[in-house]
Structure 1
């Protein structure tokens, strides 16, 4: 009971902040702030290598990939046969299974990117985000 009033104050302040963020976001479309302004963003060091180089480095530096191979591959190896050949066959099968999936995924992402970069879509998403923030702020204030 003692913390009810401070909690209410924090809730109201949070609601006001959400409404302010929503209105500011909504109005940013009119001022042109929602469109790309040529700002420089942080990039990973290997971003200049192109898509293939980025894919290689993201796989090499991904500890999950190494852990999957170290735990999963030994289950499929037969100690009596040549281990290197078995690992090569498993790697080839893995590449044959993953390659079509990654090509499909890349095509979908590339098509979506062209849609996401249109000013109409960006403005619509910005306005939707602003409206959602206002609604969440009002809902928080009424709760």
Structure 2
């Protein structure tokens, strides 16, 4: 692949990553309320999910998923349920409002690095629209019969760009964590993010294939 093709993949991925969606919400919420490490861990999880989707697309597996109504529906519903689960947890936290803000700012992240990574990864892998996105994107930059090296180049380019964007997002948001972790502000954020996550989950579940 030429440098122009790799840059094209990177540019398309950057635009996709910057668009508000489930990945954006997960990284933003974890960076806001749990700090830089949790936000960056979520970014790494999303990036690994992108790498998996890119490889599967290059191998043709993602195309089979996008073409199979049953498989697409299963992944879609699983992703919708997961988003609703995260959203309901946030709404319950906002309702309780029992935040130990001072302790959270000094001690370990409430979400944690492992949980943040897991949320980012599952959130991306359970989004069937990612399969559709890569099935539409990759043929524009790969030859008709791509080699393993071609697929690897595309996957790495997509992963690096995605990771870079979400790490920058997480670090930028985490710098204002002292404001976001105030009890009243956190309640509002949890309520807003929870509502958005549940709404997004319901929207995904109701969308046609």
Normalised by the shorter chain, which TM-score bucket? 0.3 to 0.5
Larger radius of gyration: 1
Q: Which has the higher contact order (CA 8 A, sep 6+)?
A: 1
TM-score (norm 1): 0.46
More helix by share: 2
